[in-house]
Amino acid sequence: MKFKQPIPVTQIAAWTNSEIIGDTNAMVTGLNEIHNVEPGDITFVDHEKYYGYTLNSKASFVIINTREVDAFYTNGNGDYKVLLYNSNPFEAYNFLAEKFKPELRTDKNIAASALIGEGSFIYPSTVIGEEVKIGKHCIIYPNVTIYAYTEIGDNVIIHANSTIGSDAFYYKRQHGHYDKMHSAGKVVLEDNVEIGAGCTIDAGVSSDTTIGKGTKLDSQVHIGHDVKVGEDCILAAQVGIAGNTKIGNRVTLYGKVAVNKNIEIGDDATVMAMSAVPSSIEGGKTYIGYPVVEARAFARQVAMIKKLPELWEKLKNL
């Protein structure tokens, strides 16, 4: 999430009751969780296991719960990081996320601040939140819920009972319970997207969950937070994609494919039904299985398995 204008790090420190370690004149330009940080962003880390990873990321500012680190890690561009010491970085980060992207509520079916383009048709019983933007010639079927900040392009179809922009499933376990991370991102549906019935698409934690132009979702598909789905993809029924994963262009995922978090699927990949994708896979190939392997390799494996009884009989007769 980028701020509308740079914020002095001293102001960030004052808001979060943090101690600045480094340049007190620096300006913060955005806020992001670690997987999406860019130069100028502020992020957080609160576990020693991830100190090195976070301090060597592109983030320029890090809220951290120790002073016992070298403040002068760079963000990859030769610019030195600024640390903000805080005993609870998660709470400090969450405070900032809520401050810059507050939850907006409406008691109307269509919020007063929602913008709906020419020729778009909204069926009764649909709920459209504050600051939602819907393009031209869209069709939104009954019982669809579109959360605040969502952006929808032209010629988009959303079928009944789908939910767009619900909170990210992102929690941190501390003090014996789970604390919720505030969703400061949104959902963007680009032109000519079609969303099937009963689909759920979560808002980004700090960036946008995006469905690219021309992509089609079957019914009961779930898209996790910060996922980027490319253009002209086909996602069949009951596909589930975990948070912060990137799907290339023209990818086909058949029914009940499960895709892990924080991975990438290359352009023009096809994954057959009931498969699981635990790690990144190259584009231009067809995959199957749990975990997935290339379809040609899978076919060879199956052929070998079919020969096992015959081989076993030969071994017994030796």
Catalytic residues: 225
For residue 191, give the 3-state DSSP assignment. Answer: coil
CA–CA dist 62, 163 (Å, integer) = 34
Q: Are 249 and 233 in contact (CB under 8 A)?
A: yes
For residue 302, give the 3-state DSSP assignment. Answer: helix
The residues, ordered by sequence, that sit 6+ positions from 176 with a Cβ below 8 Å of its Cβ are none
Angle, alpha carbons 272-275-279 (nearest 5°)? 110
CA–CA dist 317, 174 (Å, integer) = 62
Structure tokens at 281: 């896979």
Q: Are 226 and 168 in contact (CB under 8 A)?
A: yes
CA–CA dist 115, 288 (Å, integer) = 43
Of 221, 209, 211, give the one whose Cα is nearest residue 184.
Answer: 209
Query: Which element (helix H / strand E) includes 67?
Result: none
Q: Are 196 and 237 in contact (CB under 8 A)?
A: yes
Of 289, 286, 293, 246, give the one whose Cα is nearest residue 270.
Answer: 286
Structure tokens at 200: 């759920």
Q: Are 114 and 130 in contact (CB under 8 A)?
A: yes
CA–CA dist 136, 191 (Å, integer) = 9
Q: Are 265 and 282 in contact (CB under 8 A)?
A: no
